């Protein structure tokens, strides 16, 4: 299987992910995309279970995978379960590293107000295969300046103009977040 390359010069080869079916995964389909344009591969539960409101639990999928070096598997919630039932992942996206060979398991949490039943074969999450960029960390005495500076956690504003900024102290200031010394 191939997909369009990002440079538009033709199809890029699909990443080969080795899959090992575990005994309790017999009869379940391999992870698959629901539509040709879907980014995620659906994961199904290999067991029945239930989640009370605010309960967290691991669900088995019945599969182990081997990713090539330089890739990770991200486990993400299914939007329909999150919207309709409040069922999501407490650690999203969850990361499966390329050197992990254990069973794929999905941590679910029920943020809804009603108990939620999971049945064997139910689609409970989706996985994305993503390239991992390696980084070399270089310690420096000072980082290069930017217009934003150290402003974070809402520092780019929530108002219509987008110009309201905070300096990290909760005070708003005009201009780039954290870069002005004048109080608002």
Residue pLDDT, tens place only, 1-46: 445 555 667 667 899 999 999 999 999 999 999 999 999 999 999 9
Task: Tell me if the pTM is above 0.85.
Answer: no
pLDDT digits (tens, 9 = 90+) for 146-175: 988 888 888 777 655 544 444 444 444 444
d(CA 40, CA 33): 6
Find out whether the peptide bond into 93 is cis, omega within 30 degrees of 0: yes
DSSP character at residue 166: E
Compute the half-sphere exposure of residue 57: CA atoms within 13 Å on the CB side of its CA: 20
Burial 103-116 (b: 16+ CB within 10 A, else e): bbbbbbbbebeeeb
> What are the residues whose beta carbons fall under 8 Å from the beta carbon of 112, sequence distance 6 or more?
53, 85, 86, 87
Torsion angle of alpha carbons 35, 124, 100, 132, nearest 10°? 50
Q: Could you give all domains of the chain from N- to C-terminal order, each with its CATH number?
A: 14-131 (2.70.40.10)
């Amino acid at each position: 299987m191939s997909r369009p390359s990002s440079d538009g010069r033709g199809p890029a080869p699909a990443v080969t992910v080795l899959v090992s079916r575990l005994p309790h995964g017999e009869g379940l389909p391999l992870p698959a995309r629901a539509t040709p344009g879907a980014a995620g591969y659906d994961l199904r539960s290999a067991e029945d279970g239930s989640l009370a409101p605010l309960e967290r639990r691991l669900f088995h999928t019945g599969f182990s995978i081997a990713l090539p070096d330089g890739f990770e598997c991200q486990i993400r919630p299914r939007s329909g379960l999150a919207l309709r039932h409040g069922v999501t992942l407490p650690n999203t996206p969850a990361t499966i590293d390329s050197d992990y060979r254990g069973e794929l398991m999905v941590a679910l949490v029920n943020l809804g107000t009603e108990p939620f039943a999971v049945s064997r074969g139910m689609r409970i999450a989706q996985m994305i295969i993503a390239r991992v960029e390696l980084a070399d960390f270089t310690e420096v005495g000072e980082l290069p300046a930017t217009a934003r500076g150290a402003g974070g956690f809402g520092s780019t504003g929530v108002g219509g103009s987008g110009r309201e900024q905070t300096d990290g102290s909760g005070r708003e200031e005009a201009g780039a977040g954290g870069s002005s010394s004048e109080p608002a």
